[in-house]
Structure 1
Amino acid sequence: MNLPLNTSANISDPIAQARYNMIEQQIRPWNVLDADVLELLSVVRREDFVPAAYRNLAFADIEIPLLGDDAEEAVRLGQSMLQPKIEARMVQDLRIQPTDKVLEIGAGSGYMAALMAHRAERVVSLEVNPALASMARDNLRNAGVQNADVRQADAARDAIPDGPFDVIVLSGSVAQVPQNLLSLLREGGRLGAVVGNDPVMRFTLTRREGDRFVTTSPWDTTAPRLVNFPEPSSFSF
């Protein structure tokens, strides 16, 4: 999608200024340099995907709680939005194309699905929490996004229909890349996930090349856990 270029000269209200500051002060310095991705961030209104209680923090460099009044508990349960810079860099590094079919694990508020839907042909987003699934559907509908489908499902345990996919993205962290999801990638497909254990995690990008999977881990970060995916044993001998 070709989007009109936005510059600071167009900014005339506090929300637009805050959005511009987020892009220029948080996201661009984090090596997000793709002009289309940067423009996308100015078009998809992040504040419309944030609960009303946290709307004033929509552009802050934090994880925003989505459910309940206990912010720390919401983040612990994976019921939060990722930091804007992480979302932006994931979208950039996955190199989503207009013909791509995308699978997202963890819909959250629907914001990540909205970003990807502007670049992809179709996005299927799976969310285990019914309240978040409903929130994401409402937010995407209100934003006029018609090519993103949110379904309540547990991607760690349920069968996943509609594969194979060109892109799979996990909007949360896991201890290791799930093998069942790798099998859903078509030739040339990419899977992006934050992998590891706090405080050491890395964004891991896996590409299918025939029968091989080629993996790189280009940058460090942390993210809340996706629920129900396997965890390493805590026992030592």
Structure 2
Amino acid sequence: MDYEAARQAMINSQLRPNRLIDERLIEAIDRVPREAFVPKELRGIAYVDEDLPLGEGRYMMEPMVLARMLQDARIEADDTVLMVGCTTGYGAAVAAALAGTVIALEQDPEFVRRATETLAGLGIANVAVVEGELAQGIPDQGPFDVIILEGAVAEVPETLLDQLAEGGRLMTVLREGGIGKLTIFTRVGGIGRRTIFDAATPVLPGFEKKKSFVF
């Protein structure tokens, strides 16, 4: 399969028509081989416009949604970025081309191993893959200029919002009432939020809506 042609088709038919205009980000996406981050049996569909199942209830995010997350986060060259739920490391690899430092947090040991090996194999040196509970973030490495949650959540834990630097941006797909909406949270004094567009992104394990008790 011609992966380079598939990557160009993804950029031209999925990303640019959906308001991806940051040429620095487009160049980064063009350089990162998405097929290297999926199991061999999925490489033929690595560039389709949908979330790809990676096993254990986890997914690689739809290219357009991830790309818009990274674009709207306005990542600068000296930013420190926390990627929460990095799975095999694709999002971290793209973010690494934009940021100074990327810390990729993952709770599944096998995904940690695969992400570490793939990133090292591609020579991406400014990403550190860390194993830990997703909802806790990495407080001792913060605050972060940008936090990206690579999946949908019913709500954003305060523990993660507390790790945003002043002026920092947190991107996630927020599911309220069953509808997912790509949402940016910003810290400017307090925390503000803005909805960008609807997205049917799968929920990250551990971030589901908490059951309420009726007495």
TM-score of the two chains, using structure 1 as the length reference? 0.85
Q: 200, 203, 215: which is aligned to 1:222?
A: 200
Structure 1 residues 149-193: Cα deviation after superposition (integer angstroms, max 9, x where no partner): 111100224763211110011001110122111111111000011
Q: Is the Cα contact below 8 Å between 2:151 and 2:204 reproduced in 1?
A: yes
* Residue type at the aligned position of 1:21: A
Query: Which consecutive unaligned segments of at least 5 residues does structure 1 have?
Result: 1-12, 68-73
Tell me whether 1:64 sits opposite 2:52 in the alignment: yes
Tell me whether 1:55 sits opposite 2:43 in the alignment: yes
* Residue type at the aligned position of 1:223: T
Tell me the secondary structure at the aligned position of residue 155 of structure 2.
coil
Q: Take 1:134 and 1:198, find their aligned partners in 2: how far apart are those partners?
A: 35
Q: Which moved more, 1:45-54 or 1:156-165?
A: 156-165
* Residue type at the aligned position of 2:66: E
2:209 matched residue in structure 1: 231
Q: Is the Cα contact below 8 Å between 2:136 and 2:159 reproduced in 1?
A: no
Moved over 2 A (4+): 157-161, 232-237
Q: Take 1:169 and 1:137, find their aligned partners in 2: how far apart are those partners?
A: 18
1:162 matched residue in structure 2: 141
1:208 matched residue in structure 2: 187
* Residue type at the aligned position of 1:219: F
Tell me whether 1:118 sits opposite 2:106 in the alignment: no
Q: Take 1:29 and 1:153, find their aligned partners in 2: how far apart are those partners?
A: 36
% of aligned pairs identical? 37
2:106 matched residue in structure 1: 127
1:42 matched residue in structure 2: 30
RMSD of the TM alignment (CA)? 1.8
Q: Which moved more, 1:33-42 or 1:149-158?
A: 149-158
Tell me whether 1:15 sits opposite 2:6 in the alignment: no
Q: Take 1:53 and 1:230, find their aligned partners in 2: how far apart are those partners?
A: 29
Query: Which consecutive unaligned segments of at least 5 residues does structure 2 have?
Result: none
Q: Take 1:122 and 1:236, find their aligned partners in 2: how far apart are those partners?
A: 46
1:180-191 residue pairs with structure 2 within 5 A? 180-191=159-170
Q: Is the Cα contact below 8 Å between 1:199 and 1:222 reproduced in 2?
A: no
Tell me the secondary structure at the aligned position of residue 172 of structure 2.
strand
Q: Take 2:136 and 2:77, find their aligned partners in 1: how far apart are those partners?
A: 30
* Residue type at the aligned position of 1:109: T
Q: Is the Cα contact below 8 Å between 1:198 and 1:222 reproduced in 2?
A: no
1:85 matched residue in structure 2: 64
Which one has the largest radius of gyration?
1
Tell me the secondary structure at the aligned position of residue 224 of structure 1.
coil
